Structure 1
Amino acid sequence: MLISELVFIPSPGAGHLPPTLELAKLLLQRDQRLSATIIIMNVSFGPKQNTETRPSDPRLRIIDIPCDDSTMALISPKTFLTDFIEHHKPHVRDIVQGIIESHSVRLAGFVLDMFCTAMTDVAREFGAPTYTYFTSGAATLGLMFYFQSKRDHEGYDATELKNTESELSVPSIVNPVPAKVLPDVLLDKEGGSKMFLDLAEMYRKSKGIIVNSFQELETHGVEYLLGDDNDIPPVFAVGPIVNLENKKDETKTDEIMRWLNEQPESSVVFLCFGSMGSFNEKQVKEIAVAIERSGHRFLWSLRRRPASKEKVEYPKEYENLEEVLPEGFLERTSSLGKVIGWAPQLAVLSHPSVGGFVSHCGWNSTLESICWCGVPMAAWPLYAEQQLNAFLLVVEHGLAVEIRMDYRTDPRAGVGEGMMVTAEEIEDGIRKLMSDDELRKKVKHMREKSRAAMIEGGSAYTSIGNFIHDLTI
């Protein structure tokens, strides 16, 4: 039996490798004729990509490209993505050539992360098709295509929408979309907007697009992408793809789980803002005041802002929490809550004592909370496409309450710190989150729909089968 080999290339962002690894495993489980290689391009800042749970399946290989000094010399906020991919093309080419020479496989295609489409050049050298893996939602993908088409056919400049009160009619979204929730990069006059929409142009040239979403969650968005008259390649809505095997720092995980075990069912509000999420000290104090006033049990993942404004760094752990929290906060709330650093997010969300999630609305976190764990969310986006995700959750789908939907910050220290969410706003959001029984029922129902989508006969199960068929014809 001739094996069909897929080459996966995730981008180096913390939220991109886990869904890539899970997708590859899912495909191999579904079809014995497939094998896969995931090529990881590493960066030196932040945590190392987590591949501790490398699967034992010999058909799945994970190959790391080490991060060297020449790679890090390219790190610049404005040109990093382009230069980073270009730097790695020769490495990827050599790896793929080695796979072909040492394994008896048919190269079926490259599955390129949504930010790695420039690797199409390498795929073309091998005569292999490319598929885009869009690790965010269907509505967001539709929005990218909408603005790219308006730019290319009408000369429309999306950056003119920045700081306006405009509302737009976007085909992949039912409700009018306020300009204030559009992704930062789309509004960037310094070249970010062009780069973002050029990606959408590249997606149109791929053989197909895999989306980490599913029809029952984003009915309108998925149906738009599947339409016949929008010049979009075949779309495979295969979600929710969730990383179920994060085993990082088991000692801390055990301590957190022991504390959660002591709390009543659905009583704890969990506050966590993703791998890049952090706030300045003034905002941290507002959050603390809100938590204390709300009177709810809480688990708060709190980390220090990066020190440098010139480059992207991951937040660090606080050595002494008292230096940033209001005086006496830890003592006064010791019977109700726990402040931690890093959090085992999925394990926490899966615990029966957790009743609500104050979140940055990253797409992976959204799928984990709503679709896998059935935990309602309070939306507090920070950057990237998170404002749009928040709008979709609150307005489009009614699966979250709002804290501040249009809040924006920059992962770099102190950049874009003009916004401040008051303790009153945060407290109000927490109270609504923890008391809305109808919201809780709606989210639990969506979890049931997501589980049904993944089993035989479900929408995502069928989409995965359609993708495998596209690969092997």
Structure 2
Amino acid sequence: MKKSVVLYPGLGVGHLTPMVQLAQVFLQHDVDVTIALVEPPVKSPDFAKVVARAAASNPSITFHVLPPPSSAPESSNPDGSPKHHVVQMFEFLGAMNAPLRDFLRSLPSVDALVIDMFCCDALDVAAELGLPVYFFYASGAGDLTVFLQMPSVHARMTTSYSELGDSVLSLSGAPPFKVSDLPADVTKDSDAGNLIWRMFERMPESNGILVNTYESLETRAVRALSDGLCVPNRVTLPVYCIGPLVSAGNGEKEHECLRWLDAQPDNSVVFLSFGSLGTFPKKQLEQIAIGLEKSGQRFLWVVRTPPGDDHKHGEPLPEPDLDSLLPDGFLERTKERGLVLKSWAPQVEVLNHRATGAFVTHCGWNSTLEGVTAGLPLLCWPMYAEQKMNKIFIVEEMNLGVELKGYDKEIVEAEEVETKVRYMMDSEGGRALRDVQNRRRTGRPRRSRKEAHLMLLLLNS
């Protein structure tokens, strides 16, 4: 009888995309795969579009949208103030345990459940049904080493994170880093922070963790995880490096930016894109534009509309008005060597285009791996979540990029943008980074190694 696995990605396109890549690996070994989806509590037409597109592109995967919980958690506190979006997410996913349990019971057989890291409450469902359960950590091994150790660090603290400021922490598997490099939500004495630490405390309750990375990219971190250094006084948790799981793209061939890239010289264009949630205020967009113009380099830049004060987390943003957001005359003055796109670009296709020579990125892990596998040096501009930690590993451990100074302050100045873009595109240092990237690219593991890990996982389940 064929093996079957259910993947549970939780909320967000950024978590669904690598789960779909993981599903494709299972399929190659004749394993039935179902992805159980959670419709966001904030209704959006984008969700249906993403699911439809994923289903059309992956006909061998069963996509099942779970029904909403019978009683959705309140989005407001007793005093009427809105709950933090992280608290809302965890509470909503916790309420989804009942629909998930009912769905799993309805299936003829399930051999394993693979859950997104934010779906930690689903551990209780797996325990009730006697199912092997594995976490899928969609970010890197470096972050994971830190976050698995932080609950015990947090428990021993006698002061607040705010009082620690820029104090330096040294943990197994990671270079020294500042407390301020941790995600903002976890350094606050808040319900959101406590829920995140609880999530990492619960990870060792699983049968193992699948990490979207590969050993030669994050050698020290993987070794620390495998040696049990990150969960002291607990049973060493099996860790499976199953990456790089990277999107094959949307098959775009006729997008205007790809035709524009076709007309540019090899390795001549810097690509700027900051993920589906990456937005900047008008003042910052103007500084980026001035820096790009003064650099004299070719560029392809994705601009998103800055959210208004009344914008709710998760709601789609309107199309940007480039003429009002960018400096007067910028688009006309740079039209011979630059192209600005509204809201979206076919990122995988752009990164792998022969004309693209560097990537200015928010350091989201999906984008990081897409840049690494395309052989591009990274200009790091972290914005939220674990991205500051990713930046540390990219710059200090992997030696695959440089940071744009000022990202953690009020603004990155135009002069910094100009200097770093020139360095990356027209200096020996930038060329050396590109050479390192290409060596890393050719040093990736063969797919058979990744598949061997997954088959071992299922055979032992």
TM-score by length of structure 1 reads 0.87
1:455 to 442, 447, 456: 447
Aligned equivalent of 1:364: 366
1:441 to 422, 435, 438: 435
Q: Shift of residue 166 of structure 1?
A: 1.1
Question: Residue by residue, what CA displacement relative to the aligned partner does 1:42-85 show, whole Å, maximum 9, x if unpaired?
Answer: 12247323441427877631102366997596484252122211
Aligned equivalent of 1:381: 382
Matches within 5 A, 1:42-441: 42-43=39-40, 44-45=43-44, 47-48=46-47, 49-54=50-55, 60-65=61-66, 74=75, 76=83, 77-100=85-108, 105=109, 107-152=110-155, 155-156=156-157, 159-160=160-161, 164-173=165-174, 175-228=175-228, 230=232, 231=234, 232-246=236-250, 254-309=255-310, 311-313=312-314, 316-341=317-342, 342-370=344-372, 372-404=373-405, 407-408=407-408, 419-435=410-426, 436-441=430-435
Q: Shift of residue 189 of structure 1?
A: 1.7
The amino acid of 1:434's aligned partner reads: M
The amino acid of 1:137's aligned partner reads: G
Aligned equivalent of 2:460: 470
- The whole-number CA distance in structure 2 between the counterparts of 1:90 and 1:355 is 48
8 Å contact 1:387–1:407 — kept in the other structure?
Answer: no
8 Å contact 1:170–1:176 — kept in the other structure?
Answer: yes
Q: Percent identity?
A: 33
**CA RMSD, 1 decimal:** 2.4
Aligned equivalent of 1:411: none
8 Å contact 1:136–1:211 — kept in the other structure?
Answer: yes
Q: Shift of residue 379 of structure 1?
A: 0.2
- The whole-number CA distance in structure 1 between the counterparts of 2:324 and 2:438 is 39
Q: Shift of residue 197 of structure 1?
A: 1.4
Is 1:10–2:9 an aligned residue pair? yes
- The whole-number CA distance in structure 1 between the counterparts of 2:309 and 2:70 is 19
8 Å contact 2:68–2:99 — kept in the other structure?
Answer: no
8 Å contact 1:454–1:461 — kept in the other structure?
Answer: no
Q: Shift of residue 23 of structure 1?
A: 0.4
The amino acid of 1:40's aligned partner reads: L
- The whole-number CA distance in structure 1 between the counterparts of 2:70 and 2:238 is 40
The runs of 5 or more residues in structure 2 that have no matched partner are 77-82
The amino acid of 2:296's aligned partner reads: G
8 Å contact 1:74–1:84 — kept in the other structure?
Answer: no
Q: Shift of residue 144 of structure 1?
A: 1.0
The residue matched to 2:94 in structure 1 has which SS?
helix
Q: Shift of residue 470 of structure 1?
A: 2.9
Paired residue total: 442
Question: Residue by residue, what CA displacement relative to the aligned partner does 1:262-304 show, whole Å, maximum 9, x if unpaired?
Answer: 1111000000000000100000000000000001111000010
Q: Shift of residue 430 of structure 1?
A: 1.0
Q: Structure 1 residues 13 and 57, CA, compared in 2 at 3 Å: closer, same or farther?
A: closer
Q: Mean Cα displacement is larger for which, 116-125 or 212-221? A: 116-125
Question: Residue by residue, what CA displacement relative to the aligned partner does 1:355-400 show, whole Å, maximum 9, x if unpaired?
Answer: 0000000000000001x21111100000000011011111121100
Question: Residue by residue, what CA displacement relative to the aligned partner does 1:374-433 show, whole Å, maximum 9, x if unpaired?
Answer: 1111000000000110111111211001103x735xxxxxxxxx6111001111121122
8 Å contact 1:305–1:315 — kept in the other structure?
Answer: no
Q: Mean Cα displacement is larger for which, 303-312 or 35-44? A: 303-312
The residue matched to 1:131 in structure 2 has which SS?
strand
The amino acid of 2:424's aligned partner reads: L
The amino acid of 1:423's aligned partner reads: A
- The whole-number CA distance in structure 2 between the counterparts of 1:397 and 1:369 is 13
TM-score by length of structure 2 reads 0.89
Aligned equivalent of 1:36: 33
The residue matched to 2:237 in structure 1 has which SS?
coil
- The whole-number CA distance in structure 2 between the counterparts of 1:318 and 1:384 is 25
The residue matched to 2:35 in structure 1 has which SS?
strand
- The whole-number CA distance in structure 2 between the counterparts of 1:448 and 1:221 is 20
- The whole-number CA distance in structure 1 between the counterparts of 2:129 and 2:323 is 57
- The whole-number CA distance in structure 2 between the counterparts of 1:302 and 1:241 is 26
Q: Structure 1 residues 161 and 227, CA, compared in 2 at 3 Å: closer, same or farther?
A: farther
Question: Residue by residue, what CA displacement relative to the aligned partner does 1:72-101 show, whole Å, maximum 9, x if unpaired?
Answer: 96484252122211232222122212213x
Q: Mean Cα displacement is larger for which, 352-361 or 75-84? A: 75-84
8 Å contact 2:136–2:210 — kept in the other structure?
Answer: yes
